[in-house]
Chains A and B, each alone.
Chain A
């Protein structure tokens, strides 16, 4: 047998094939040539002749090489026939991307709509998630946040004393003991928030102050941006002076970032403090959502507070404490250690003035450690639940929008059916086509997600601005962190699959022959597409009903709260706080000052009525006491307010029986009080109040002073609008021998309250220029407490409306498609004499079917979903029938309108034209 291999190899060498491929071809051709040679020999041809003939089958050099070259070199399939190959080959993937871009650009209108829809949907979701992440998920921007733990009393109940600041967990005495006796932490610090005034008379200017213990900055590892930060040396118990630290934003705002600010003086509450430094830019404190402006050591409380300082009070609760766990010590181990020292600590710090009952409660407290990696946050408790609900809402809107997009892409897929069929017939694998379509969807999603990031930034800023309730300014770091970006990217992929996969699978599932044959009367070829479209619309209707119900619930809650009667007249009322501390008056001389201030303010032109009160209604402040009966037995706990005569008329509440305070009620006459209806119901157990006596439980060792009830007033809201009626008693300002150096003057006027602010400030200044004044309209404070409800109503309302609109658009789309698809059927019917009405009924029946199924499913979902939002509602139950019915009716009406146009179009069909098109 001749050796064919050398010659074969020679001819194949120019092709530069891989060794394996060349061997394979050579082996096969050798077999062929051997067969030819053997057959020729069997026919009797000589060996030489047989060899020559066999070689002739190879033809000439160039032909063989060229012929094989054409086949072997075709590594890339032709661009118009993407077929074969694996799913993830890099070269072909880039081809798909380029092809996808071209396709999307051709239908730029649809593409633009899709990208805008995705950008808004993804952006809204990311914005809310960014807020959630900042408030609940992020760790503090400090060194090693996960070793931080908060130390506080475990499940503290019925604590007694004075509570100041945002997180009054510990007293100063407790703090000192904990610091001395703890063994689980390498370092600990305590802090408290308080608004302090920078002016020295007249209109107050409050800034957010952070009282910090000496170890706060070292333990957290905060570095100064300028100067130095407070340290243990600054926080000595009885400091006479103190250094002051500015926050970075405050430094920029007030001192324009001037390094020369360090060393200057700042007057706080009338006292001078030297600015020693500025904190790092990223530090906002440990309370997520609240920033601060200045920081002072704890001991400065004595300086600014004077005789009203909280620090020396054994029952003054104002501090929160956090410590850094020692390496290897877990939170549970720390809790065990703290529990062990609790008994001794509480015994040592028991306030002398506690009654036996309060003392008992106090001695039973146990300290514990709690996780604090993401700081502590009053914001978190308040906003966590609503934010999750908002995220669910925007998530549903995104799903509805994706359903619309899916329908859009399904329609486009049907239009490209021929293109797909031709490709499949020419040998393209289905996997490759699906991949192509998915790449197009992914391109849309990616553009949408990128645009969404920008939308999210803008949206989350607006959201924070909406939540910003004036005095309680919210500070949230909205720089996008990896969590938010990952969330946005995940949404991009998720939406791509959601609206891209089904159309891609459907578009490539057609038998090529079927589509290529006829234009398709549509009875069989598109049935699948219609079914999928219907499911999408039903889903949309169901989900949008959920959102519309939610919107109505929140809007009604807000309306209930704003139209709620608080028991008094907030409109036209101004509350002015007056601080006498700078005057350093002896407490016995304060009653005279109170009287003069009230007199002066009452005389201001435009003021109809004025009165004093220790607590301004619905201001967030409160005061309660334990009430004792005539036999000194406790009757319960009641809210308390100390007011001047004329208070009830000023705030516009009715005295139901008895009388108001008069000038006859002095410091030497028997103590009197008015009570509200709930007090009578709960404390007096319904007994007639007028003339009855009771007493307020005094501190241990003080005498019990009987108080006689002289009047009954209507219930009023005390602290918040949402509260249930609570007992409240009103004692007389005029009977107080040693009143506080602080009072609120409530003013009623028929003029807008804000117009009186300047005049009142001046008037108070005339009494004494060092008095600190701050005015706010009562209506404004009430509105500020409803910020969250307003936000939920606005956003839920907006998204509910949007969802309804999207669902109706989807319904319109599917009905239009149905009419277009069944043109010939309708044409035939009309040609056979069907009434226009029958045709309209056809369309309407389809619409109603989809609508009813969607509404039924949606109603079930809405009922379940509403239950999860129960705590946010007010004045109505989650399953409120009126809301449910209203939402169903509203959606149904709009849907019927959406069905109207396709129905009209169907009825207007010219049967001849419809049939001819086939």
Chain B
């Protein structure tokens, strides 16, 4: 049981990882730890990103030009690297979001139909 769950976990995470990150920087710029914390909190602990999973992904998204990272220095705060969504990223987020929603709805219909 535990083995199956880990595989499912990993597969789901792989497919939705980009979507998660893009959506979290949609409204405001965030730094890496912020993003990881939000994901863990909002998923109720189901989805967790540790450092080797998060930062390489952030750097990949940055290379593709979907997010942009900048060292932000605020008064009374340490210098942090914050990421925000770019216009290209915004387009990709919209497409991935609609794609994901369609996928989820389809799965739900199949899975839910058996119960009814």
- Does B33 lie within 8 Å of A68, measured CB to CB? no
Residues in A with CB closer than 8 Å to B10 are none
A residues in contact (CB < 8 Å) with B: 24-25, 27-29, 31-33, 35-36, 56-59, 63-64, 66-68, 70-72, 74, 83-84, 425, 427, 429, 513
Q: How far is the CA of A28 from the CA of B50 in the complex (A)?
A: 14
- CB of B64 within 8 A of CB of A83, answer yes
Nearest chain B CB to A508 CB, angstrom units = 15
B51 contacts A64, CB within 8 Å? yes
What secondary structure prevails in chain A residues at the interface with B?
helix
Give the contacting residue for A25; candidates B55, B65, B66, B88; CB below 8 A. Answer: B55
Q: Within 8 Å CB of B65, what residues of A?
A: 83-84, 427, 429
Q: List the A side residues contacting B32 at CB < 8 Å.
A: 28, 31-32
Interface centre among A67, A72, A74, A425 (most CB of B within 10 A): A67
Name the residue on A nearest B59 (C-beta): A71
A4 to chain B, nearest CB (A): 11
Interface residues of B, dominant DSSP? helix
Q: In the docked arrangement, what's the CA distance between A36 and B65, Å?
A: 28
Q: Which of chain A's residues have a CB closer than 8 A to the CB of B53?
A: 67
The docked-state distance in angstroms from the alpha carbon of A25 to that of B80 is: 12
- Given A31-B31, A68-B56, A70-B56, decide whether A59 and B64 contact each other with a Cβ distance below 8 A: no
B14 on the interface (CB 8 Å rule)?
Answer: no
Q: Which residues of A are found within 8 Å of B63, using beta-carbon distances?
A: 71, 74, 84
User: Beyond A36-B33, A84-B65, A427-B65, is A29–B51 a contact (Cβ under 8 Å)?
Assistant: yes
B45 within 8 A of A: no
- Alpha-carbon separation in the docked complex, A215 to B43 (Å): 102
Alpha-carbon gap, A35 to B32, bound state (A): 10
How far apart are the CA atoms of A429 and B78 in the complex, in Å?
35
Known: A31-B80, A31-B81, A427-B64. A72 touches B59 (CB 8 A): yes
Given A36-B33, A72-B59, do A28 and B52 touch, yes or no (CB 8 Å)? no
Residues of A within 8 A of B31 (CB): 28, 31-32
Give a binary string over B22-43; 1 marks a CB under 8 Å from any A CB, 0 the rest.
0000000001110010000000
Contact (Cβ within 8 A) B56 A58: no
A33 to B36, CA, bound (A): 12
Per CB-CB distance, the 9 closest pairs between chain A and chain B, nearest first, are A67-B52, A71-B56, A35-B33, A32-B33, A64-B52, A427-B64, A67-B56, A28-B81, A71-B59
* Cβ–Cβ < 8 Å partners of B59 in chain A: 71-72
Report the nearest A residue to B49, measured CB to CB. A57
Bound complex: CA A63 to CA B65 (Å): 25
- Shortest B99–chain A CB gap in Å is 12
Which residues of A lie under 8 Å from residue B55 when comparing CB positions?
A: 25, 28-29, 32, 67-68
Taking a contact as CB atoms under 8 Å apart, the answer to whether A71 and B80 are in contact is no
**A897–B61 alpha-carbon span in the complex (Å):** 57
Provide the residues of chain B in CB contact with A429, threshold 8 Å. 65
> What B residues does A68 contact at CB under 8 A?
52, 55-56
Contacts of B57 on A, CB cut-off 8 Å? 71
Select which of B33, B60, B64, B95 is within 8 A of A31 by beta carbon. B33
Q: Which residues of A contact B95 (CB under 8 A)?
A: 425, 513
Q: A31-B78, A68-B52 are in contact. List 11 more A-B contacts (CB 8 A).
A: A28-B55, A31-B80, A32-B36, A32-B51, A32-B55, A33-B51, A57-B51, A58-B50, A67-B56, A71-B57, A84-B65
